[in-house]
Structure 1
Amino acid sequence: MKYISTRSSGLGRRYSFLEILLGGLAEDGGLYIPVQYPRVSDAELSHWRTLSYSDLAFEILKKFCNDIPVNDLLALTRRTYRADVYSNIRDASGSERITPLRTLGIEGGTPLSLLELSNGPTLAFKDIAMQLLGNLFEYALAAYHDQKLNILGATSGDTGSAAEYAMRGKCGMRVFMLSPYHKMSAFQTAQMFCLQDQNIFNIAVEGVFDDCQDIVKAVSNDCTFRKKYQIGTVNSINWARINAQVIYYFRGYFDATCHNNQRVSFTVPSGNFGNICAGHVARMMGLPIEKLVVATNENDVLHEFFRTGKYRSRSAAEIYHTTSPSMDIAKASNFERFIFDLLGCNSKRVLQLFCDLETNGSFDLSMSSDFTRVQRFGFVSGCSTHTDRISTIRDIYRRYQVIIDTHTADGVKVAREYLEPGIPMIVLETAQPIKFRDTIREALDLDPPCPPAFNKLETLPQRFTVLPADAACIKDFIRAQIDI
């Protein structure tokens, strides 16, 4: 298995999995993607149905990272996907399932289900990938003879805490996490800022999430700085994040079906296109997915593209600060991977389109024959508003006595627009509702349940640094910590 950049696929260098693991962007500014997606046979699907989550992860990952010895990879997946790590369950479903499927009921002639992805240490779906990433990084650093890694990331809510909890205490690693100051929920902020580990540095940026994301890309594109200070990333531009998320699409499919000729649809609340990109990869591997439903909030950049063929990033002034804040994103950094596939792996056109995006703030495929190919990849989309999510939270609680978080509510709202008789609909849950207590109170006039370990989280002392939205300032801060 080799990897190429979305911007130089024909002429560029080919990389192994371990070579791209510790980095983020390719040197030409593109994103890494496999030369070709591995295909899964019917016999493999049947066998995989019988496996534990950790062993399923091993089978899928070994198709993508065959430069890690199989015994080492199996040990990594079994160390990562353990019941005690994913113990924040809310019912009797059993933490050994890791990502249990909860069927809400029959709607539109089909089962409507939630794939629970938030039973990990930070109560968000990001844990599923980050816990693996932390162990992979540690393995790779040891393989490269005690190399150091300084992780630079950006978060709009859950990526930061998931990364920090996965990397805290890891030998040879520091984490520099950028987040938009005063733009996350109080619970999300406390999860990150209360950490006192000496290898964790929280930077509150005076701006919006996209400022944070742009800084990460700017630093990653400074090859001299990146190499000197050994900068890596945990954002979903890192291919290993996508790889890890592919696993739970297969698990969700197996739990929702009895045999391999059945098809299912997935709805994914999405702002940065990372989570649903993993679904796209699973579908390209041969998983029988009918539709991939992109659910956005008021910041409907992705919905606008799938509806019109026009992709237009938003300025900071155009971003809505919503009650599903992890999707308050103006530019989906993972979208380039899908566009690469949509354009038939034409890296020259990808480069031109994303140069247009940087220069003009948009590109337009509405009049191109390529846009008509979107339906071949199964993508549809919809959007949700604050009124919608409040209504959906109330309705799900009234019907099923289940409390869902605000992002999952956006997913359920849009999923209901695409229900098809006989095709199970699985909504990917994004977080536990305690992370958005104020909105749950508004919807239900009650507090959501809180795992005991988090009862006093928001009263703990916090440690963070406020900096302007300026890449040079962030570099200076990183230098100062590393050069001590």
Structure 2
Amino acid sequence: MDAEFRTRHRLTSINSINWCRIMVQVVHYFYAYFQMSSDVDSPVEIVVPTGACGNVTAGCIASKLGLHVRLVCAVTCNDIVSRALSSGDYSVSQTVTPTLAPAMDIQVPYNMERIWYIFADGDTALINKLMSEFESTGSVQVPEALASKISAVITDAHEVSDDTVTSTMARVWTDNSYLVCPHTAIAVAYSLENRSKGESIPRICIATASPAKFNEAVDAAGIPWQQDERVTRLMSLPVRYEDMERNEDWSDILRKKIIAINTP
């Protein structure tokens, strides 16, 4: 929140709060589309492992730019995204359930605000009203007209359990000798169920991370694998940390650490 400090020390977020990340991902959709279609008129379905909705926001922007894509949000049992898309119920759950796809265990998918903005054609008054209600009550109902515009592009949302994640990882490994991370497996699970609504169109599954980061899931899937030696070497390095007590000023501690790191 301190703009001067942030600028002076070149600080930024690396998650999808950072608009630059979403902007770059828009290019991914165009690249992927043209791997599957030789023209610009044929639809392509893209299945997106979805947590905070950053990646699927990029897909929505690609659609607004004219790309003929249909998007599917594949989610864990933490289903605020699927509820918002299927019934307009954008409300916080009482708890977040840890799953094998931790990056998708999101209680508040903050990019939903951007998706609303995109499909509301920049109606800032409406978005401000929706977000104010959500922030004050933890719940808001998406207007039917807005929900209808979104569903024309994000055509489905699919919830996947941990058991399905591991069975999908195992199947992809057995059938293709290809190792997917648990997040990617959630998108692949949708595809393997052939949920094409009776249409035969090309489908792409977005792959989101290296399986090297998720050895617990790989082991749970019963896949024989060997960790990358670079990761093993990294994990064997000494851990450096400093304790911060509850009554200390954590903001001040972090500021001093950032200054120390950036001081030659």
Contact 2:43–2:202, Cα closer than 8 Å, also in 1: yes
Q: Does 1:314 align with 2:93?
A: yes
Of 250, 264, 271, 2:44 maps to 264
Contact 1:381–1:414, Cα closer than 8 Å, also in 2: no
Of 196, 200, 210, 1:432 maps to 210
Q: Does 1:478 align with 2:258?
A: no
Determine helix, strand or coil for the equivalent of 1:363. strand
CA shift for structure 1 position 445: 4.5
Of 115, 121, 134, 1:338 maps to 115
Alpha-carbon spacing, 1:257–1:474, altered in 2? closer, same or farther (3 Å): farther
Structure 1 length-normalised TM: 0.49
Q: Structure 2: any 5+ residue segments left out of the alignment?
A: none
- Deviation track 1:411-445 (CA, whole Å, cap 9, x = no partner) reads 11123353354311100111122211122112125
Separation in 2, partners of 1:253, 1:306: 23
1:42-191 superposed matches below 5 A: none
Aligned length: 255
Contact 2:173–2:223, Cα closer than 8 Å, also in 1: no
Q: Does 1:301 align with 2:77?
A: no
1:224-243 superposed matches below 5 A: 225-230=2-7, 232-243=12-23
Contact 2:30–2:62, Cα closer than 8 Å, also in 1: yes
Q: Does 1:354 align with 2:134?
A: no
1:131 maps to none
Alpha-carbon spacing, 1:473–1:245, altered in 2? closer, same or farther (3 Å): farther
Q: Percent identity?
A: 25
Letter of the 1:244 partner, please give it: V
Determine helix, strand or coil for the equivalent of 1:303. helix
Contact 1:312–1:361, Cα closer than 8 Å, also in 2: yes
2:231 maps to 454
Determine helix, strand or coil for the equivalent of 2:45. strand
CA shift for structure 1 position 464: 3.6
Contact 1:268–1:276, Cα closer than 8 Å, also in 2: yes
CA shift for structure 1 position 391: 1.6
Separation in 2, partners of 1:417, 1:354: 36
Separation in 1, partners of 2:111, 2:117: 11
Determine helix, strand or coil for the equivalent of 1:418. coil
Of 163, 170, 177, 1:394 maps to 170
Letter of the 1:443 partner, please give it: A
Separation in 2, partners of 1:245, 1:413: 22
Separation in 2, partners of 1:467, 1:299: 31
1:277-292 superposed matches below 5 A: 277-289=57-69, 291-292=70-71
Contact 1:314–1:331, Cα closer than 8 Å, also in 2: no
Structure 2 length-normalised TM: 0.87
Contact 2:52–2:106, Cα closer than 8 Å, also in 1: yes
Separation in 2, partners of 1:293, 1:468: 44
Alpha-carbon spacing, 1:362–1:467, altered in 2? closer, same or farther (3 Å): farther
Alpha-carbon spacing, 1:469–1:406, altered in 2? closer, same or farther (3 Å): farther
Contact 2:119–2:149, Cα closer than 8 Å, also in 1: yes
Separation in 1, partners of 2:238, 2:22: 33
Contact 1:295–1:383, Cα closer than 8 Å, also in 2: yes
Separation in 1, partners of 2:210, 2:160: 19
Letter of the 2:236 partner, please give it: T
Determine helix, strand or coil for the equivalent of 1:267. strand
Determine helix, strand or coil for the equivalent of 1:357. helix
CA shift for structure 1 position 466: 5.3
1:111 maps to none
Runs (4 or more) in structure 1 with deviation over 4 Å come to: 465-470
Separation in 2, partners of 1:445, 1:338: 37
Separation in 2, partners of 1:309, 1:407: 24
Contact 1:243–1:278, Cα closer than 8 Å, also in 2: yes
- Deviation track 1:47-84 (CA, whole Å, cap 9, x = no partner) reads xxxxxxxxxxxxxxxxxxxxxxxxxxxxxxxxxxxxxx
Letter of the 2:214 partner, please give it: F
- Deviation track 1:447-467 (CA, whole Å, cap 9, x = no partner) reads 2x4444323222111234455
Separation in 1, partners of 2:22, 2:77: 25
Alpha-carbon spacing, 1:451–1:365, altered in 2? closer, same or farther (3 Å): same
1:254 maps to 34
Q: Does 1:463 align with 2:243?
A: no
Separation in 2, partners of 1:451, 1:483: 34
Separation in 2, partners of 1:379, 1:466: 47
Determine helix, strand or coil for the equivalent of 1:382. strand
Contact 2:90–2:139, Cα closer than 8 Å, also in 1: yes
- Alpha-carbon RMSD: 2.4
Of 307, 323, 329, 2:100 maps to 323
CA shift for structure 1 position 473: 4.1
Contact 2:170–2:223, Cα closer than 8 Å, also in 1: no
